[in-house]
Structure formats: structure tokens, C-alpha cells
Structure 1
Amino acid sequence: MLPITVWGLALGTALLVTGNILLVSVTALIGQQLAPSSTYATLPVALQFLGVMAATLPAAHLMRWLGRKVGFLLGNVIGVGGAVLAYLALAAEHFPLFCVGTFLLGVSIGVSQQYRFAAIEACVPAARPRAISLVMAGGVVAAVLGPYLAVWSGQFAPEREFLGAFAVLIGLYLFTLVLISCLPLPKPGSAEQQGPARSYRALLRQPVLFTAIVAGSIGYGVMVLVMTATPIAMHGHHHSFGDTASVIQWHVLGMFLPSFFTGRLIGRFGETRIIQCGCVLLALCCLVAQWGSAYWYYWLSLVTLGVGWNFTFIGATSLLTLSYHPAEKAKVQGINDFLVFGCAAFGSLLAGQLQSWLGWEALNLWMLPAIGVAMLLVWYANPRSQPEVEAGVA
């Protein structure tokens, strides 16, 4: 039986990912409306991921000294501020201010990425894959609510499209703020704060850590690039916003619904096999995109993309926990998320330009070499990493 802290973090993840889906559904389209050039349409999305990347290392070290609760509360306060700023910027049609708001929202999202690590720490080692899966499964709620709220919130201020989405976002961050304040999150122990810790160079020499970071980074980067380009591509192929929101909704279901059994699959087949399966699914997504531009082709491609991301991300997160001692936790978790979300930021920044230059089909084909590199590196590192996995250095 998983502790109540894990269930609370799963609910918190559900609320915040719901907000993230709202952002995914509307931010690129708002960028098209407000940006001085179509080249900058996905700049707010890219700044959101840059905010995620910028928060990862400071957040991990802050929580090492002040604890998870203080860090999570601070992250939600920043989220409220970013949502308010984005709301005001959209009302005033001020593109630079909107970009600042999405950057702050990214910082808040970066802090919330530590929820999955907090869930790991709240349970015994044998239950870690299930704890990660449960927290990630909170995204299933987001998959249902996020796109629905994106469409429904349009009624909040009909004269200003998408303004209501940020009013909803403010409410989600406030609710999560209250939830986190009620959770029994323990303070960091002496082993975490004062124990021996290896250097970054020594840590990154571990095949286990190398494999986890590479798989997580490429899997997340490919997913974000294709997902960010999807609303623009569908708009260019004359699909309605409702169709786009529906595709994003099913994509997010693909991202999170498998979480109910991914942990058990990892327990049976191991992390690296699940990561490899995820890479195969990511490649399949890119191939499906070549078949056509009708709604169902987008639907199938994005669902496959979501499931592939789920396997690579959860597999990589589980593998990561085998690579560090307690005092090294902040270092490893911070550098992992910094690199993973750095790739996500890079992908989101490129999405608008690649969609404009290459088109939907060619954009997807360009993802295949990166996926192939991930598969080869995971395959190469796996035999050498096995002794460390069995040693259980976490």
C-alpha cells in the first residue's frame, strides 16, 4: 500500500499537468496572434521550457537544505504569479510580457518535476516504480480536464480568445498550493545534507546515469517538438481548434494512461527494455505522420508519441534512482532534469521554425536519427550498467 504522500503528490501532479495541457493547447496559437513574425510563434513555449530548465538545479539544491514542502510551495507561488502576468499580457496584447509570464510558469513546472522524486522517497525501494507510475498517472485526469477546460474557458471572456484559460490556470495553482501545504512531506535528513558525494564528473561516468539521461533527454525533446508543432500543423491543414484540442487530449492520455502498468512492466522486464520499446513507438509516431494530414492520422501519431514518451521517461526516471547515494540526490536529480528539459526547450524553440521550413511530414522524419541515437546508446550502455544496477547504489 502506497503512503498518502504519494497519493497527494499524484493529485498535485494531476492539477499541474492539467494546467500544462491548457498551456500546450493555447500558447502556440497565442504566439501566432501576438508575435511580430510567425518565426516567433513558439517562442512563448520555448521560454516556458527554458524556465523549466532554469529551475531544475536551483530547485533540487534548495530542497536539499529546506525540504520538499518549502520548495513546492515556492514553486506554486511563482506559478500563480506567472499565470496572472500571462493573463494581463494577453488582455493587453503585449507579446514580450506574455513571454515573461510563460517563463515564470515554466519555472513553476520545473519545480513540480521534483514531485516524482518526492514520491520515490516516501516509499520503500521495491515500490519505487509503482510510486513513479502513480504520480505520472495523475496526468490521466489532466488528459480529460485539460483540453476540455481549454475549450470551456473560451466562454469566460468571449471577446478575448484564450483569456479564460489563464483564469483557470490561476485557480489550479492556488488549489495545488493548499494541497501541498497539507501533505506530510519530511524534512531532509543528515545523510542527505552531510553525507559523502562524488563530483559531477565521477557521477556522469556511470553507464546507468548516462543511459538514463540520454533516454530521458532525447525522448522528451522529440515528444515536445512534435507536440508543439501539432497545433500549428493542424491549423495549417484547416482543422478546427476543437479537433486540435481533441488530438492533444488523446496525446496526453497516451502519455499518462500507460502509467498504471508501466511500473509493473519495468519490474518484470527491466528499465532498458522498456526504454527501447518507447523509442520504437516514438519512431512509429514519425512514420504514421507520413500517411496523411486527416484528423485520424494526427490522432494516431500523437497517441503513439504519448505512449512512447511514457515508456522512455518513466523507464529513465526509474533507472536514474539506481545511480546515486543520498547526499548525491540533489546533484543527480538536478542535472538530469536540467539536461532533459534543456532538450525539451530546444525542441519547442525549433518546432515553429521546422514546421514553417519543412512541413509536418519532413519535420517528423528529422526526428528518426535522434531516436536511433538514443536506441543505440541505451543498447550499448546496458550490458556495462548491469553490475551497478544490481548493486543498488541508490
Structure 2
Amino acid sequence: MTNVAPAATPGLISDPVHAQQRILRVLVASQILSGAGLAAGVTVGALLAQDMLGTTSLAGLPSALLTAGSALTAIAVGRISQARGRRPGLTTGYLTGAIGSAGVITAAVLDNPVLLFIALFVYGAGTATNLQARYAGADLAPPGHRARAVSSVLVATTLGGVAGPNLAAPAGTLAEHLGIPHLAGLFVISGAAYALAALVLALWLRPDPLLLARAVAQAKQADAATDPATANDTDSSEGRGGVVLGALVMILTQLVMVAIMTMTPVHMHDHGHSTAASGLVIGIHIGAMYLPSPVTGWLVDRYGQMKITTASGITLLAAGILAAAAPGDSVFLLALALALLGLGWNFGLVSGTAIITDTVPLATRAKTQGVVDVSIAIAGATGGMASGIMVAATSYPALALTGGALSLALTGGALSLALLPVVAATAYRR
């Protein structure tokens, strides 16, 4: 559906630049809150499962479940956004994440691993929604500035994302006072953060960026019908190849990042590090995932998507090698490896998102973006599930090196796909 809400009035259509500024401010506020919500599953989800089950082999299951839940939510948020706009889609996603957080707390109190896994699946809705919000930032942005608009939304996640894991210890202490298991304390913060993010969007994300962008596009099309000189102002699509390329970049980036990130807290725990130390490393990692976004957005708009995609593969390779080589007792080297891992992910996400946004027309944009994010979430679920099995069968360094090797496939595959149109055009001329 391509309904245009009443919010897209002629007055608002005449000033999309002002509307974009307001939309970005609201998205930034919601992302700061939702960033804190992301921390719980990453920092203590695997530790909760390990504590309940008494084995490391299934420690990657929580990450797999929350990313699987993220996949389902990506479809739902994409379809709701397609039909009704970004505001109801994003609000629904964050409320679902808050419900999942409450479920994890209940499972921890009851010491029920089945309920824990179900709740983590629902909790994954917050992760999907946090990522979907980046598309909302680009809906009204002109071509050539979309990567910077995406990065403005992503960087807002940094504050909550960095603060959240470092609240693990005090949140655990608070949880114990409330009669809740120590490890579940961070999910109390997560649930509150997701609920507040939903409230901010429900109240203030007006006008809806996707619906307004459609109204602006329709107005341009009407102008083009009467004045051919304005026809070049309308958006264009680059075809299916761009969707495949953008999806490939983000899928492989997510797979490598989630696999290594998921098992790092478990690896540190096995070497005697505290929850606070794991929280610090994950906090640095999440900071590196989002904090460089403004610079990354500028680099993508300035130098092109493929160069930053290549930089993503190289950075992820370096992260895998360093994580494998780092001694288990070195918090500094593990933190540096996870920082590089986050940076490589950031390069891939911003460049891949820009490719998708430039390629897909407004009429089907939200739905297509949801489908692409499903693929990303499935890749994350695969990485999370396989990581625990691989570490149990081999070792954490072997996992890190495998992730680094996959990053080379990211670089080579993306470059090959980018060259396909050139090869096809050359063959056609011959």
C-alpha cells in the first residue's frame, strides 16, 4: 500500500527540509533510548543461558534466537511502515522488545530456560526496530546525502549502547535487591528503554517521514507531467542488482560481527574476567559500531559505496586476526579487536544501507527494506548459533579466524557484483 496520511498536507510538502530536521531530532532521541535496550541481550544473554543450562555449547543460542526474532519483526515493521508509515511501524517494534525484556526477567526468576528462549526471541524485536529506524532518517534525504542521514540516526545509538553494558554490575545489584537474579538486572533497564523509545516516536514523529516523502515524490511527478524540465528531479531506481549488492554487504558483515561478538563475553568469562570487564569490552564494541557513523556517512557520500565496502572487509579481517591472537587475559587487546569488529560492521551497514536506499523506489521501499533486514537477521542468527557450536568443538581463536576469512568473501563478492554491469555492457557492445 502507498497510502498518504493526512499529516502530509500541502504546507508540509512545501518544506520537507524543515520536516527532515525535526524527524532526525526525534529519531536521535529514540535511538539514544533504544541503544540502552540493545545492551542486555549482547552482554548477558549468553551468560544467562550458560548459567541455566550449565554448558557452553548452547551459549550462542540466545543470540540466534534474538536475531531470529529480529528477522520476524523486520518483516512486520516493514509491512506496517509500508501500509501506515514509519511511526506506527517503529513504535510497534519497540513495544514488542519491551515485552520481551519483561519475559526474560520472568524466566530468570522462575529459572525456566524454555521461557528464556521464547522471551529472547520476542526481545529481538528491539534490535530489528533499532536498525529499521536508520531507513526513516533517509526517507526525505536527497541523493548524495542519504548516507549522512543514515549515520545521524545510527550515531545516536552510541550513548545508550555504550552506557548500557557498563550498567551491568549496578543493574545486577539493583536486581538482587528486587529479588531478581543478578544477570537479569540489565533487562530491567532494557525494557524501560524500549518502552520510552516507543513513547517518543508515538508522540513526536510527525510528520511521518515515509508518508511525507511519498507525497513529495507524487508532487514532483505531477510537476514533471506538466513541465518536462522538472522530470530529472524525480527519484530513480537502479534495479535488482543494487538490492542484491546492498543485501550481500550487510548480510556478510552481520554474520561475521555477530559470531565473534556473541562468544567474546563467554570467552572472557572462561578466562576469569568479571561481568563488568565483559560489559566494558562490549560497550567499546557497540561504541565502535555506531560512533563513527557521521564520518562513515560522509566517506560513503564523498568516495562512493564500494570503497567503504572494501574498507569494511579489510577491517573485519583485522578484527578476526587480532581477536584470535589476543591472550585470554588481555582485556585491552580483546577490546581493541571488538572495536575493529564494530568499525567494520559500521562501514558495511552504512554503505549497504545507502545502496539499498538509492536503489529501491519509494512505492515499495519500506517493504523491500524489511525483507533485506530479514536476511540480515537470519545471517546474525546463523552466526550466533554456529559460534557457540564452533567454540565448543574447536576454540574462540578458530572462530575469530573463520570470521576474518569470511570478511574477504565480503570484499571479493561485493566487488564482483559491482563489476557485473560493466562486464555485461562490454559484452553487449561486442
TM-score normalised by the chain length of structure 1: 0.90
1:108 aligns with 2:126: yes
% identical equivalent positions: 25
- Residue ranges of structure 2 left out of the alignment (5+ in a row): 1-16, 222-236, 424-430
How far 1:368 moved relative to its partner? 3.1
CA contact (8 A) 2:168 2:275 kept: no
RMSD over aligned Cα atoms: 2.3
Residue 162 (structure 1) aligns with: 183
1:118 aligns with 2:154: no
How far 1:205 moved relative to its partner? 7.1
* Secondary structure in structure 2 of the residue aligned to 1:113: helix
1:218 aligns with 2:260: no
CA contact (8 A) 1:15 1:176 kept: yes
Moved more, 332-341 or 205-214: 205-214
- Residue number among 408, 418, 422 corresponding to 1:372 in the alignment: 408
- Larger Rg computed on CA atoms: 2
CA–CA separation in structure 2 for the residues paired with 1:180 and 1:253: 23
How far 1:142 moved relative to its partner? 2.2
Q: Aligned AA for 1:306?
A: G
CA–CA separation in structure 2 for the residues paired with 1:303 and 1:216: 18
Residue 68 (structure 2) aligns with: 50
Which structure 1 residue ranges, 4+ long, deviate > 6 Å from structure 2?
190-193
How far 1:36 moved relative to its partner? 5.8
* Secondary structure in structure 1 of the residue aligned to 2:175: coil
1:298 aligns with 2:320: no
Moved more, 116-125 or 41-50: 116-125
CA–CA separation in structure 2 for the residues paired with 1:24 and 1:213: 23
* Secondary structure in structure 2 of the residue aligned to 1:180: helix
1:229-281 CA distance string (max 9 Å, x none): 10011111222222111111111111111112111111221011001001100
* Secondary structure in structure 2 of the residue aligned to 1:41: coil
CA–CA separation in structure 2 for the residues paired with 1:237 and 1:385: 50
Residue 391 (structure 1) aligns with: none
How far 1:191 moved relative to its partner? 9.5
- Residue number among 195, 198, 217 corresponding to 1:174 in the alignment: 195
CA–CA separation in structure 2 for the residues paired with 1:291 and 1:170: 37
CA–CA separation in structure 2 for the residues paired with 1:386 and 1:132: 28
How far 1:120 moved relative to its partner? 0.7
How far 1:190 moved relative to its partner? 7.2
1:6 aligns with 2:24: yes
Moved more, 293-302 or 337-346: 293-302
1:328 aligns with 2:397: no
CA contact (8 A) 2:94 2:194 kept: yes
CA contact (8 A) 1:49 1:341 kept: yes
- How many residues are matched? 379
TM-score normalised by the chain length of structure 2: 0.83
* Secondary structure in structure 2 of the residue aligned to 1:124: coil
CA–CA separation in structure 1 for the residues paired with 2:408 and 2:88: 40
- Residue number among 78, 82, 99 corresponding to 2:96 in the alignment: 78
Judging changes above 3 Å, is the alpha-carbon distance between structure 1 residues 62 and 143 closer, same or farther for their aligned structure 2 residues?
A: closer
Judging changes above 3 Å, is the alpha-carbon distance between structure 1 residues 131 and 167 closer, same or farther for their aligned structure 2 residues?
A: same
- Residue number among 84, 90, 94 corresponding to 2:108 in the alignment: 90
- Residue number among 335, 354, 359 corresponding to 1:318 in the alignment: 354
CA contact (8 A) 2:35 2:158 kept: no
Q: Aligned AA for 2:132?
A: Q
Judging changes above 3 Å, is the alpha-carbon distance between structure 1 residues 22 and 121 closer, same or farther for their aligned structure 2 residues?
A: same
CA–CA separation in structure 2 for the residues paired with 1:121 and 1:143: 24
Residue 184 (structure 1) aligns with: 206
Residue 117 (structure 2) aligns with: 99
CA–CA separation in structure 2 for the residues paired with 1:113 and 1:269: 24
CA–CA separation in structure 2 for the residues paired with 1:108 and 1:257: 19
Q: Residues 224-303 of structure 1: matches in 2 within 5 Å? A: 224-293=258-327, 294-303=330-339
1:44-95 CA distance string (max 9 Å, x none): 2211000001121232122111221111222222122111111111111111
